[in-house]
Amino acid sequence: MARILISFFCADNTENISPFLYGRYDRAFYISFEGEGPDSRSKEVIENLISERFGAQAVFLTAGEKTLGCAYRLLYDLTDGDGEYVIDVTGGPGLFSAAAGIYISENEKKNVRLSTFSIKNGTETVHYPSTETIQRKETLNVAELISLSGGAVISASKTMRQLSDSGSLRSEAVRMWDTVKAAAYDWNRFCSMANMRQGSKVTKKLSRADDKKTCERITGLLSKRGIIKDVKTYVSDTGKTYVEYELCPKSKTVELYEKSGTALELFAFLAASECGAFSDAATGVMLDLDGLITKKKGDPRNEIDLAAVYGGRLVLASCKCTKPTKEYLYEILTMTQQYGGRHAIPALICSEAAFEPVRERAKEMGVILIDNAANHSLKMLKDEFLKYFPINTD
């Protein structure tokens, strides 16, 4: 017997897909009124995900008129068979929900079920023919959740995958963060200097008057921890000053030494992936805004430092080796709204402690703020994640 989903199309595709996380369906009918249905891009996203991930078919139907009677007739016609039907009344136009209520009250059909789905709680609540609560059986991954907002993952950090598989690289990421976290400002400056690398040899151009002092402090820290060697400063024939050094053989995660946020980014990724709260996590995620990946310069794209999945919700985090600011809060909130939809959770992770007005603003905006990370051990950062994303023990 075929199992059919009837869902009232709504603007958030995470809600449109949600029923598939609770059970198998052979086909899904998404119904709407004229002018309120999905655009071509949204149709494509839903059709592709349902087909590729769940092996089902998506069909989009439009009611003839925006009336209760027309909504009722469409529901009646769609359930006039010997299949098993689940009507999802979570969202969509109120007229469809009202029509579903009338339909159930007038037709005692045991092969029809009325349900609502909570993305936040991870539950399906069955309202008819009996009352019961069903827990979510699976979740989507980072790339799938981003696709539901019309975007696409172009790439993610290779180092992330290596960290998951290699204990030595994991240790190096922790060691690197422990090395630079106390000198976050100088580390930011150091990484912003013009950088040239050939194999393990790195050359940086010193352009500002105090660049030399910054380099001396950072290269001293890196040398002391056995991360780099053979540091020397020289002046070229053209009068330009350079610092040159070589990465030690055990320094394999090159990204750690070229981008200031990466040390904190990978440290946060380790905490997120090991704390047990998230079903998927990725770092250095390059995103395309409209999901249409081209090589054109104007193609809108952005990079997310850390992305994770908590239950059925996407978490997008920005990692900054500095003090939190209101500008950083607005930046990650905007990116979360663009790439994650209304159920996504924005987070800001910073190395230094926040001023109280910024802390209060984060609460008002609904942005999770984890500050003072420079004084957090890996275990402490895991505990911080669990404070905001507790593990469901049900």
* Token pair recorded at residue 374: 């420079």
Chain Cα centroid distance, residue 345: 8
Q: Facing residues of 350 across strands? A: 320
Closest listed residue to residue 36, CA positions, set 71, 2, 80: 71
Gap between the Cα atoms of 21 and 287, Å rounded: 24
* Token pair recorded at residue 339: 């790439």
- Across the beta sheet with 313-320, what order do the strands follow? 152-155, 280-288, 301-310, 313-320, 345-350, 368-370
Domains of the chain: 3-138 (3.40.50.10770), 152-162+259-388 (3.40.1350.10), 182-257 (3.30.70)
The confidence score (pLDDT) of residue 260 equals 59
The confidence score (pLDDT) of residue 32 equals 94
Contact present, 1 and 83 (Cβ < 8 Å): yes
Query: pLDDT tens-digit profile of 236-267?
Result: 888 889 999 998 877 666 656 666 567 888 89
Dihedral class, residue 315 (left if φ above 0, else alpha if ψ from -120 to 50, else beta)? beta
Q: Facing residues of 288 across strands? A: 152, 301
- Phi, psi dihedral angles at 280 (to 5 degrees): -155, 145
Model-level pTM? 0.87
Contact present, 183 and 260 (Cβ < 8 Å): no
pLDDT, averaged in runs of 10, over the chain (394 residues): 93 93 96 90 92 95 91 92 92 89 86 93 93 93 91 76 68 84 85 83 88 91 89 90 87 62 85 92 83 60 90 93 94 92 94 95 97 93 96 64
Which 3 state secondary structure label does DSSP give 318?
strand
Contact present, 25 and 115 (Cβ < 8 Å): no
Which 3 state secondary structure label does DSSP give 361?
helix
Query: pLDDT tens-digit profile of 309-333?
Result: 998 899 999 999 889 999 999 999 9
